[in-house]
Amino acid sequence: MIEFIKQPWTWWFSGIVISSVMFLLLFFGKSFGFSSNLRTMCTIAGAGKMVKFFDFDWKTQSWNLVFLVGAILGGFIAKEFLSNGEAVQISAATISDLKELGFKAPDGIQPTELFSWEAIFTLKGFFVLAIGGFLVGFGSRYAGGCTSGHAISGISDLQIPSIIAVVGFFIGGLVMTYFIFPLIF
């Protein structure tokens, strides 16, 4: 059993667990949407005094912040106790494409070219992460949700707005991958 858990999980098992997360939250009277936490965190930091959008009772979102703390703990637990430390097994085609952009084959879960201390203390390395984060934060609030709120919860409820948002996610992702990556990497 523990050997099964320690291997990377197959797609169908992962999908079952993710939908279970959504259904558990529904059963607890809430809905699965992670990016709302970014707004809540702005409110806690005092943004409500300056901008009306952040002036709301953040305590109504406490449950979601507890969920966020759980997600951090989950990442820690999975790494410390449930992993065998293997590199991500991405396809040979992706390895080859990324090589052309200057990324070596994976030796862990994330590229050191982007997330190591050496990388983030370069100007370019810092800006890649900062701009990436900014766009995710801005875009998720403009679109009214992220992968959990739209791609999982929204589409499960067959919401047209969520389908449009996911089309947008892919337009942005494809343009970044095929047209902007060659310019910056």
Pick from 104, 116, 122, 124: which binds another protein (CB under 8 A)? 116
Structural contact between residues 91 and 67, judged by C-beta atoms closer than 8 angstroms? no
- By CB under 8 A, is residue 20 in contact with another protein? yes
Least distance to another protein from the beta carbon of 124, Å?
Answer: 12
Binding mask 134-153 for another protein (x = CB under 8 A): xxxxxxxxxxxxxxx-xxxx
Q: Shortest distance, CB of residue 162 to another protein, whole angstroms? A: 7
Task: Decide if 92 contacts 148 (C-beta within 8 A).
Answer: no
3-state secondary structure of 64: helix
Q: What's the closest the beta carbon of residue 1 comes to another protein, in angstroms? A: 14
Residue environment code for 91-125, b if the CB has 16+ CB neighbours within 10 A, otherwise e: eeeeeeebeeeebeebeeeebebeeeeebeeeeeb
Binding of residue 37 to another protein (CB under 8 A): yes
CA-CA distance, 166 to 176, in Å (whole number)? 15
Considering only residues 60 to 99 of the shown chain, the ones binding another protein according to CB under 8 A are 62-64, 66-79, 82-83, 88, 90-91, 93-94, 97-98
- Residue 115 engages another protein in binding (rule: CB under 8 A): yes
